[in-house]
Amino acid sequence: MDNKKQKGGKGSAGKVQDIRTEALAFIETRGKTGTIGTLDIMPKTSDVSFFRRVNIGTGLVSVVYTGEVAAASSAQEAAENLAGKISEFHASNLIARPHERIYSLILQRSGEEVNVDSPSNSKLALGIVEIDGFVGMVKAADAGIKAADVQIPSWVTVGGGLTTVFFRGEVAAVHSAVEEGMSAAGKVAKIVSSHVIPQPHEGTDEVTPIGKFTGKSTFKKTAKDDALGILETKGITGLIEGIDAGLKSANVVVQGWEKIGRGITSTIFRGTVADVRSALDAAVSGAGRVGEVVGSYIIARPHEELEKGR
């Protein structure tokens, strides 16, 4: 797999930096005061150029500048010192020689996917690293893609500062990427969770932002009186494992996933009562092993009015 083929999302048009000399400097603060101060002091300190500002919710905003390593380092240090005095400082980082994919990843929107290449139509393993903040997520992405032959289809934030990067590739490579990503990110941010799914169900590929699905669609119409099973988790790692476990355990349909806010995510299984019960039991068990289950519930015969408000 050629990682250099990945060019990022719709917002990634523009000059790709020279990865031999350019560095990326990150400052993450809570609130606008720190953001404005950071945006101002970094180019005043040294010869750096604005790259992007990223807001992931709960007041957390990351400012990213590029420049020669020494210049970017000086700008980062000055911004970190200032941010700690005028606002709530959350995280900072300097990536001296970012992998080429990192530039386009930063320009991608949360949940926006790029295609991933699967050699010989083999299924790609999935690696998940969920972190508190955007800065740590990028750190994990850079370390992971440098450590192994993997692809990064997307990143996503689900609120509450929870931000996740996804790796796809052969199982051994994905394990290496996740391990290196966690090790690197743990130096600048809090690791929330991580997980590897060796062979995700095709329905998991289809409904979650882990790489564009190219196989036969698993979506089908469900009857109004089909049972409904709800799974709700804190963060997306547990939700994806729950979706995958549920789909593998019973003949059910997953009707997408949703960000509720403050880091809470949910999904809905549909099918017969017996199948939904089996799927939800497996989903709760799987999600609980890698994340926090907030709630689960089965409605054997949904009222027709429910659909109007769902």
Residues 139 and 72 placed together within one structural domain of the fold: no
Name the pairing type of β-strands 191-197 and 125-132: antiparallel
User: Across the chain, what does the average pLDDT equal?
Assistant: 90
- How large is the average pLDDT for residues 205-228? 76
Q: What is the pLDDT of residue 21?
A: 63
Q: What is the pLDDT of residue 123?
A: 84
What CA–CA distance (Å, rounded) separates 57 from 132?
12
Q: What is the pLDDT of residue 19?
A: 52
Q: Which tokens go with 143?
A: 């370390």
What CA–CA distance (Å, rounded) separates 205 from 167?
13
Q: Which tokens go with 171?
A: 């199982």
Last residue of a domain, which of 42, 74, 98?
98
Q: What is the pLDDT of residue 304?
A: 78
Q: Which tokens go with 77?
A: 């240090």
Between 69-78, 280-289, 299-308, the lowest mean confidence (pLDDT) is in 299-308
- How large is the average pLDDT for residues 75-97? 97
180 is a domain residue = yes
- How large is the average pLDDT for residues 118-130? 86
Last residue of a domain, which of 75, 98, 121?
98
CA 190, 195, 200, 203 torsion: positive or negative? negative
Burial of 97 (0-12, 13-18, 19+ CB in 10 A): middle
Percent of the chain with pLDDT strictly greater than 90: 81
Q: What is the pLDDT of residue 8?
A: 35
Q: Tell me: pLDDT of 95 over 50.
A: yes
Q: What share of the chain is helix, strand, coil (3-state, %, to 5)?
A: 40, 30, 30
Q: Tell me: pLDDT of 2 over 50.
A: no
Residues 167 and 223 placed together within one structural domain of the fold: no
Q: What is the pLDDT of residue 221?
A: 59
Fill in the DSSP letter of residue 151. B
- Residue 264 backbone phi and psi in degrees, to 5: -90, 135
Q: What is the pLDDT of residue 135?
A: 98
Residues 64 and 21 placed together within one structural domain of the fold: yes
- Return the CATH number at 65: 3.30.70.1710
Q: Order the strands of the 155-157 sheet from edge to edge.
A: 155-157, 162-169, 125-132, 191-197
Q: Tell me: pLDDT of 17 over 70.
A: no
Fill in the DSSP letter of residue 248. H
- How large is the average pLDDT for residues 95-112? 96
Q: Tell me: pLDDT of 1 over 50.
A: no
- How large is the average pLDDT for residues 14-32? 77
Q: Tell me: pLDDT of 139 over 50.
A: yes
Q: Which tokens go with 118?
A: 């699967």
Q: Tell me: pLDDT of 32 over 90.
A: yes
Between 15-29, 62-76, 118-132, 246-260, the lowest mean confidence (pLDDT) is in 15-29
Q: What is the pLDDT of residue 10?
A: 33
Fill in the DSSP letter of residue 121. G
Domain that holds residue 146: 109-203
3 is a domain residue = no
Q: Tell me: pLDDT of 16 over 60.
A: no
Q: What number of residues does the chain have? A: 310
Q: How many domains does the chain have?
A: 3
5 is a domain residue = no
Q: What is the DSSP string of 202-246?
A: HHHHHHSSSS---S--------TTSEEEEEEEESSHHHHHHHHHH
Q: Distance between alpha carbon 285 and the CA centroid of its chain, in Å? A: 22
Fill in the DSSP letter of residue 109. P
